[in-house]
């Protein structure tokens, strides 16, 4: 059974940091495009960051310079280091996997071509 499980969410004050993890089981993620997405209450889901099998990355403008996506293929895991967190970063965060081509689509921010999704981990940033 293919599964993605996120962890590491929680509550933090503005300016703080969190590190999200995503563990894959049932398949080997090394050849997949992996991404982090988020959805705040009342808002549409949006792409946060993606990382290709080649380690190439892309970020949403809203998180550039603050968030870092990484992957450890040996551990079959994906990570998101979030620094300088802002109130507007509050959301449910999801990891997702898709074919190689998903990382080379301009519509990645909408989650296009990502077909394996985790259940999410909540991040709450307070003042």
Mind listing the pLDDT tens digit for each residue in 51-88?
999 999 999 999 999 999 999 999 999 999 999 999 99
In this model, does residue 106 exceed pLDDT 90? no
What integer is the mean pLDDT of 25-32?
Answer: 88
Enumerate helices (H) and strands (E) in the chain, giving the number of each. Answer: 0, 11
Q: How many whole angstroms from its chain centre is CA 70?
A: 10
CA distance 30 to 47: 20
| Percent of the chain whose predicted confidence (pLDDT) is above 70 | 100
CA distance 70 to 88: 22
Which is more confidently placed, 47 or 1? 47
CA distance 37 to 80: 10
> How many angstroms separate the most distant Cα atoms in the chain?
40
């Amino acid at each position: 059974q293919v599964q993605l499980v996120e962890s590491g969410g929680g509550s933090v004050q503005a300016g703080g940091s969190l590190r999200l993890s995503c563990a894959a089981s049932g398949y080997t993620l090394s050849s997949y495009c992996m991404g982090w997405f988020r959805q705040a209450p009342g808002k549409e889901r949006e792409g946060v960051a993606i990382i290709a099998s080649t380690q190439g990355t892309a970020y949403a403008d809203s998180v550039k310079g603050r968030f870092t996506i990484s992957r450890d293929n040996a551990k079959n895991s994906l990570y998101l280091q979030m620094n300088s967190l802002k109130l507007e970063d509050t959301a449910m965060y999801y990891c997702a996997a898709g074919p190689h081509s998903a990382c080379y689509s301009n519509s990645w921010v909408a989650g296009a071509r990502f077909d394996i999704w985790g259940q999410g981990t909540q991040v709450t940033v307070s003042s």
